[in-house]
A and B are shown apart, each in its own frame.
Chain A
Amino acid sequence: MDLANPTRFIALADRLVPWLAALSAIALAVGLWLAFNAPQDYQQGITVRIMYIHVPFAWLAMMCYSIMSLSALGTLVWRHPLADVSLKAAAPIGAAFTLLALITGSIWGKPMWGTWWVWDARLTSVFVLFMMYLGVIALTRALDDPGRSARAAAIVTLVGFINIPIIKFSVDWWNTLHQPASVIRLDGPTIHPSMLWPLLICAVGFSLLFFTLHLMAMRTEIWRRRVAAMRRIAARSADRQEA
C-alpha cells in the first residue's frame, strides 16, 4: 500500500487509531493495576512505583527522538512526502514525554536522593534533550512554507541525534547519582520478574499511546495543510473575481 499518498495515509490512520487507542487503554489499565500490586521495594518502599511510569516516559523520550531522526532522514534522503509531517507531529509529543520523565524523576529523586535535581550526566543530558525538542518545535513553526522549515528542522534534528547515545550510555561512562541500566543490558535484566513484567506492560501501553497520539497528530497536520492550501486557492479566486 502506497503510504506516500496523504489520502490513503489518512484512511489507514482512521482505521488504526481507534484500535491503537483501545489497545493502549487496555495495556495501560493492566500495567498500572499490576504496578500497584507489585511488591514494594525493601529500601524504597512505595516510591518505587514511580518507576513504572518514569522509565517508560524516559524510554519514549528517546524513542520519539529516534523516530524524528528517521523522519529527518526520510525528508533529506528519500524525500518522503509524509516524513516532515511525522517529524513535526512527533516533536511536541516527545517534548511532553521528556518533561514528564524529568518531573516524575525529580518527584522520585526528592525522597530517594534527598534532592529534586542534581546536575549529573543522565539528568543533564535529558534536560539537553528537552531543550532540543523545544528548539525543533520553534523551528518547525518559524516559517510559513512547510517544505523549507521541514528541511531546516530535519538537519537540526539529525545533528542533535548525537545526544541520544550520550543519554543512553551516560550512566556507564560517568559515575552518576542516577542508577545504571537494569533492564536493557547485554547480560539480561537485573530487575526481578515481579517488577519487570508490570514495567514492560506499562512501557508497551505508553508506546501504544505514543503511536496513537502520533498518528492523530499527523492526521491533524495533513488536514491543517489542506485547509491552508484551500484557503490560499479560495483567496486567489476571490481576488480574480474582484479584478
Chain B
Amino acid sequence: MLALFVRDLRLGIRAGGGALVGVLFFLAVVAVVPFGVGPDLNLLARIGPAILWVGALLASLLGLDRLFQAEREDGSLDLMILAESRHMLALTVLVKCLAHWTASVLPLVIASPLLGLFMNIEPVGIAATSLTLLVGTPAIAFIGAVGAAVAVALPRGGLLVSVLVLPLAIPVLIFGVSAAYGAVNDPNPFLPPFLILVALTLFFAVIGPFAAALALKSGAD
C-alpha cells in the first residue's frame, strides 16, 4: 500500500502528471475574480474565502478523470481488481485517493494563504480558510473517486465526472465556507461547521472508496 502511495505520488508530481496544472488553474481562477468583480479590497476581503473554496473545488475536479484512466490504459487497473483477495479494492482506492490528494490538492492548500493575502483577508481568516481547505478537500477527492470510477469506461468521461461530483460536493463547500466565515465574523460560530466538515470528510472516506471499488469491479470487462 505504501509502495502504491509512493508510486502514485511520483507519477503525479513528475512531468506530465498534471499536479502542477491544478495549482496553475487554481491561481488562474482566483486571479480572474478581481477582474470580474472589480479591485475593491473590502469586497474581495468579504468574498475571499468563498473564492478560494470555489477555486479549490474546481481545481481538484480537474485532475479527477485521470485518477484511474492511466491504470486502465496500461492494464494495471485489472491487476488491482484481481488482487482483491490480498488487498481490499476499497483500500487500494483509498490509498490512490490519498496519493492524488497529496500530489495535486495539497499544493493548492499550501498556496491558499498567499492567495488569501492577495484577497485582503485578515490573518485569522486566512488561517481558517487554509485549515478548512486542508480538512475539507479530501472529501472532494473521495467523492470524486466514485465519479472517476464510474466514468473510467466512458468515452469523454472527464466532463461527466464533474457533473456527477459537483452536486455531492456542495455540502462540503457550504460547511467549509461557513466555517471560514465563522472565524472572521463574530456572531457566526467557527467550531460547529468545522466539525461537520470533519465529519463529512470521514463519512465520504468510507462511502467513497467502497462505492468506487464497486463501480470499478462492475466496470471491468
Contact = CB atoms under 8 A, between A and B. Distances in A.
Contacts of A76: 214, 218
B66 to A, nearest CB: 18
A55 to B, nearest CB: 23
Nearest to B163: A135
Interface centre among A142, A160, A162 (most CB of B within 10 A): A142
Identify whether the interface residues of A are mostly helix, strand, loop, or mixed.
Answer: helix
B20 interface: no
Interface in B4-23: none
B198 interface: no
B53 to A, nearest CB: 15
A139 B170 contact: no
A205 B158 CA distance: 41
B88 interface: no
A142 B143 CA distance: 20
Contacts of A135: 160, 163-164, 167
A131 B164 CA distance: 8
Contact of A159 (B153, B157, B211, B219): B211
A155 B167 contact: no
B90 to A, nearest CB: 13
Given A152-B219, A155-B150, A139 B164 contact: yes
A72 to B, nearest CB: 11
A151 B211 contact: no
Nearest to A153: B150
Contacts of B151: 152
Interface residues of B, number: 24
A160 B163 contact: no
Interface string B148-160: 0011011101001
Given A132-B167, A135-B163, A156 B153 contact: no
A105 B153 CA distance: 39
Contact of A151 (B146, B154, B170, B219): B219
B151 to A, nearest CB: 8
Interface in A121-159: 124, 128, 131-132, 134-135, 138-139, 142-143, 148, 151-152, 155-156, 158-159
Interface bin, chain A = 20 to 34
Contacts of A134: 163
B154 A159 contact: no
Given A138-B160, A155-B211, A156-B150, A128 B218 contact: no
Given A139-B164, A151-B215, A124 B150 contact: no
Contact of B207 (A139, A148, A156, A159): A159
Contacts of A151: 215, 218-219
Nearest to A160: B168
A243 B151 CA distance: 37
B170 A155 contact: no
A126 to B, nearest CB: 11
Nearest to B213: A155
Given A139-B160, A158-B211, A148 B153 contact: yes
Interface of B: 143, 146-147, 150-151, 153-155, 157, 160, 163-164, 166-168, 170-171, 207, 211, 214-215, 218-219, 221
Given A151-B218, A151-B219, A159-B168, 7 more contacts: A124-B170, A139-B160, A148-B221, A152-B153, A152-B154, A156-B147, A162-B207
15 contacts: A131-B163, A135-B160, A138-B163, A142-B160, A148-B218, A148-B219, A151-B219, A152-B151, A152-B153, A152-B154, A152-B218, A155-B211, A159-B143, A163-B167, A163-B168
